[in-house]
Structure 1
Amino acid sequence: MALFNRNKTSDTAEMSFVDHLEALRGHLFRSVLAIVIGGIIVAVYNDFFVRNVLMGPTHGNFPTYAWLCKVGHALGMGDTLCMKIMDVKMQSTSVSGQFSMYFTVLVIGGIIIAFPYIFWEFWRFIRPALTKKELSRTRGVIFWVSLLFFSGVFFGYFVIAPYTVNFFANFQLDENIQNQWTIESYIDTLIPLILGTGLAFQLPLVMFFLSKIGLVTPSFLRSVRKYAIVIILIVAGIITPPDVISQIIVTMPLILLYEVSIWLSARVVKEKAKAEALEWS
């Protein structure tokens, strides 16, 4: 029994279940290979990625700190957006701690670098199941998915991560208690923030495709807007420190992405109505 049609030489060309699994294995293998290549790039430039990228938010000269301070002064907010220069001490409490974290950095760095190719392999796998009309409506999907992902990653890295790191670095219950983080806890905090934001920025495209298949309509998205804003506020509260300014900075882009999702959904519905009108005429 065929799972879907292959749009290569004929619309009727079919793949068996075994062929389908074989194709999936090939896509997964090439995706893993791309991650390995990305990891090798990180390994070659290890000093730069560790000192300037991974540990960047812990440095007082991280560009976000100076930029936000300038924005605060320009808006007449004084030093409200300025962050206190921190003194973060890192330590490794296990024999193989730094060694295992090194490979974690290679894998995560490889995934981020290879993301466009990984999604391209995923797209190659599902593309044969789409009709020619559907394919024509999804042109540029790899570009837009990659753009939104990297936009989310950059936002998470340059906005959420420094706010989180700075807040917890300067938070003290008592002046006699020093913040000495383990490298494991630092990375375990940073990675979900950055990758999670990259995935969260996919919201407009998710809503776009849900609208394409009729599961979501702009009227529905408008009717649940207030609930969506509450959920966004909760998410922002979870991924940011308990700081009002940082929560606002995270909330605003997510609300904007939701509004963009409504606009895209409305556009899809309008195109569908136009196509149906042409069919009846």
Structure 2
Amino acid sequence: MAEQRQSSGQSAAEMRSRIREDGLMPLLEHLGELRRRLFWTILVLVVGLCIGLYYAKPLYNFVITDGPMNGVDLHTFSLWDGIGMYMKFAFLISLVLVLPFGFYQLWAFVKPALSPKEQKATLKYIPFALMMFLIGLAFAYFVIAPMAFEFTTSVSRSLGLIETYGVMQYIQFLFNILIPISLLFELPLVIMFLTKLRILNPIRLRRMRRVAYFVMVLIGTIITPPDVISDVTVAIPLLILYEISIFLSSSVYKRQQAADAAWERDFDAGSAVNES
């Protein structure tokens, strides 16, 4: 009896150890896979920075020549301003390059949990991620940035201030508008992707509408000049983006519900045939 108890105790301990190991191994494998995906994304970001450094000056010339600061002298107040300007434009170019690659790495990470049909459907989002980012970049540059610059300069002139602009102050001002707006334009694709993974659904998004509206208006207020017209001009497109996200999520959710209903009908029909 003592030997049986000892052997049963050992087998239970071995079983518990095996369960812990079985649960730990997939977690370690997922963490290793995630680390590998992050490594490749960071590597592409670094390569993109190197490419961006080469194209930073042409992009800078375009922004200065065709942007709101056309005809305005820019000054440097630090020995590092030129280098900082190069790095900011290099980062923007790198972000354009790494964004679709990062979406692909995210898709590849969750791919094993998706069916073949879901894999093909979610893979199609990657080219649209770059397209939406570029649309947001154009909207921020051609609509929001000139409006913000006109407001700030008009306030300075009304106070009788002499306009002396530093190049880094202007680039920082510009990038504080471009980057947030461009990333917010990814919202519909992100919501569709999460809906496809069954993490989000239109019902939950509608319940979050008040909070989402508040966040959108807050973002629009932060990145624009403190006047009602500018706030409304930015907040309305962001709210429209959220409503588009709900609409796209609904379309994905309806197709999922229809597929689930069809699978249940086929399963019930198969069960009825087997019983007969």
Q: Is 1:32 aligned to 2:46, yes or no?
A: yes
Conservation of the 8 A alpha-carbon contact between 2:104 and 2:123? no
> For structure 1, which segment, 100-109 or 236-245, has the greater mean C-alpha deviation from structure 2 after superposition?
100-109
Q: List per-residue Cα deviations over 1:56-93 (Å, max 9, x = no partner).
A: 33346xxxxxxxxxxxxxxxxxxxxxxxxxx7442211
Residue 90 and residue 141 in structure 1: after superposition, are their counterparts in 2 closer, same or farther (change >3 A)? Answer: same
Conservation of the 8 A alpha-carbon contact between 1:34 and 1:118? no
Give the CA deviation at 1:137: 2.4
Q: Is 1:57 aligned to 2:41, yes or no?
A: no
- 1:136-155 to 2 correspondences below 5 Å: 136-155=120-139
Equivalent residue letter for 1:170? S
State the number of aligned residues: 241
Q: List per-residue Cα deviations over 1:119-140 (Å, max 9, x = no partner).
A: 4455445545544232022131
Conservation of the 8 A alpha-carbon contact between 2:99 and 2:129? no
Q: Is 1:112 aligned to 2:122, yes or no?
A: no
Conservation of the 8 A alpha-carbon contact between 1:38 and 1:113? no
Q: Which has the larger radius of gyration?
A: 2
- 1:15-164 to 2 correspondences below 5 Å: 21-22=35-36, 24-40=38-54, 42-43=55-56, 46=57, 48-54=58-64, 56-59=66-69, 88-113=72-97, 115-128=99-112, 130-164=114-148
Q: Given the two structures, how large is their TM-score scaled by the length of structure 1?
A: 0.73
- 1:260-271 to 2 correspondences below 5 Å: 260-271=244-255
Equivalent residue letter for 2:166? T
Give the CA deviation at 1:147: 1.2
Q: List per-residue Cα deviations over 1:12-67 (Å, max 9, x = no partner).
A: xxx68657645643443244223422432x14xx2x4222225633346xxxxxxx
Structure 2: which 5+ residue stretches go unaligned?
1-24, 266-276
* Higher RCO (CA-CA < 8 Å; seq separation 6+): 1
Residue 115 and residue 54 in structure 1: after superposition, are their counterparts in 2 closer, same or farther (change >3 A)? Answer: farther
Give the CA deviation at 1:201: 0.7
Distance 2:186 2:176 in 1: 15
Conservation of the 8 A alpha-carbon contact between 2:107 and 2:123? no
Q: List per-residue Cα deviations over 1:156-179 (Å, max 9, x = no partner).
A: 111111111221122127644223
Distance 1:197 1:16 in 2: 32
Which has the larger share of helix? 2
Name the residue aligned to 2:268.
none
Q: Percent identity?
A: 30
Name the residue aligned to 1:243.
227
